[in-house]
Amino acid sequence: MRILSPAIRLLTLLSVLSLGYAAVLEQTEGKPEPVPAEEYPLYDQVIDKKFLTSETKLVIIERLTVMRLYPEQEGTVSVETFRENEYFEGRLPPELVREFVFKNQKPARLEARFSIGVRYRFVSGGEAEEPEVSLAPVPALFSRAVPMQEAPLQKAPPVVDRLAFSRVAFTLRNDHALVYVENNRPDGTGAGFLVWLRRTGKDWAIFDTEVVWTARRRIPGEG
């Protein structure tokens, strides 16, 4: 049996430690952290109540969470952003605003944990990452609602393209939550919403919604 010298054993150990450090560094710096599992039921609630209809066949979702509240915003969201715009007429709990700002200083990675009852696909940088994901049927507590941005008589499109989310913020008592979602359509129209949720018992429900921005297709001849 060959016995390695102390110098060789030391070099081997340093090499292993170096590789391990590199792997950790790549995980922490090269790849955004995954969104925790407890946030997905609230994403499901928002998607179901605000965007799904009986005609929806596929939902397209941005893989990384966003750090802003409107497309032209420079930098990340801040407490001043909420103060200046007085979202929800300033009724949001201050600790909820602070938590939202803290959580959304860097992007996080969404994973295949949605339970929305229809297929969904992740996109990143405009490119589809993987085939559609099909999960369990939508829970009975969800009811399909007409999306708020659609006219009552407009035929619902079979594809919701595309949704981008922020991280979900919670109060310390876990009784209020806040999330931002935007719908950027291929035709250039869309909107961004802050969604305020409250918990009763074990169930979360949408309490109020603030429209942050809207974009509509320009009609030729309009000033």
pTM, rounded to two decimals: 0.76
Asked if pLDDT for residue 29 goes beyond 50, the answer is yes
Q: Tens digits of per-residue pLDDT, 197-222? A: 999 999 999 999 999 999 986 655 55
Residues 6+ apart with CB under 8 A from 60: 120, 121, 122, 123, 128, 159, 160, 161, 162, 163
Distances (CA, A) of 99 to 67, 78, 94, 177, 179: 13, 11, 9, 10, 11
pLDDT interval class at 3 (50, 70, 90): low
How would you class 23 by CB atoms within 10 Å of its CB: exposed for 0-12, middle for 13-18, buried for 19 or more?
Answer: exposed
* Confidence category of residue 186, pLDDT binned at 50, 70, 90: confident
Four-CA torsion 85, 90, 96, 101, nearest 10 degrees: 20
What string of DSSP letters covers 31-54?
A: SPPBPPGGGHHHHHHHHHHHT--T
State residue 40's pLDDT score.
98
Residues 146-185 have pLDDT tens digits of 344 443 445 667 999 899 999 999 999 999 999 999 999 9
Of 65 and 141, the structure prediction assigns the larger pLDDT to 65
Q: What is the DSSP letter of 156?
A: P
Separation CA 47–CA 55 (nearest Å): 14
